[in-house]
Amino acid sequence: MKLSAAAGPIWREYGLNETQIFTILAECGFAYADYDFCPANLNAWLSADPVIWGRQVRSSLSDAGIKPLLAHVSGFNPFSDERTVEKAIICAGELGAENLVIPLAYAPDNTRREYEDCNLRYLERMLSTAEKADVVLLIEHSGSWLLPHYTHHALELNRMMERLARPERLKINLNVGHMGIAEIKPYTEIKLLGESIRSVDLSDNFGGMPLAVRPEREELGLAPMMGYIDYDRVMQGLSDVSYDGCFNLRMNMPRVFEKASPYHSKSPLRLMPSELTKRLYIWSRHITEHMLASYGCV
């Protein structure tokens, strides 16, 4: 079983470049990395020539001794950022990532039928780009206590998969943290999605947190088994559907307070020392490896 860690924006809090981030992930024992196409590194890839950019990043990965297992497009809404998502697909192909997790478009005031129809048209266009880039698109299994129209349950996802009928080019990325936020029962959801699941994002949280002072911080990104998510049922579900895809750690734990907070932006506790963050990633890798071994997912 392949296990990767996100080379995401959280590491850039320390002022590291991508080569340094890849090296740290390798030092933490990861053989694979998950690349983030996100607003935090927008200038690095959006304006670049995909071939030149892909060659440079592949070289950095190779120098660190790790491989690109998959990539994520994060922080964009295709209603207004469709061309950005399309560019990310092209860059992912040049990077050599076989799988790319993409967001679906969302609007809180849309009906579910409107929501489904606009996303089907969007996915049809993106599938054409993915075919040329030789990338498998993964619909992110997303959930939010605040945005119910952005909650994708298994029945809705299965319906979209059936209507598009492209199983060789379109799969599901199961985001365990998002299931926790939306308070979706993990075992039932996994059983319904079954063989459509191609990658699993691992993190933990305390659920929807409806009483949170700042509810937009609901996705805490704790390490697996440090929150309320029932990981026993998660692993049992994956075992029962004979899941044989990849697992990916996507944590935000080093960020204690958001930079935008007027109270904590300059707090000395806002960010843990980088050495402690490295230890956290090593510890989280061991925890995840134990979970996989306990359920025979090795």
What the chain holds in terms of domains, given with CATH numbers, is 3-294 (3.20.20.150)
The residues pairing with 174 across neighbouring beta strands, listed in sequence order, are: 141, 200
For 108, the token pair is 């809180």
Residues belonging to the chain: 298
The helix/strand/coil state of 221 is coil
Looking at residue 121, its amino acid is R
Q: Tell me: the pLDDT tens digits for 47-104?
A: 999 999 999 999 999 999 999 999 999 889 888 999 999 999 999 999 999 999 998 8
Q: Tell me: the pLDDT tens digits for 244-295?
A: 999 999 987 656 555 555 556 677 777 788 898 899 899 999 999 999 999 9
Please indicate, yes or no, whether the overall pTM of this predicted structure exceeds 0.85. Answer: yes
- CA gap 15, 124 in Å, rounded: 38
For 150, the token pair is 């952005």
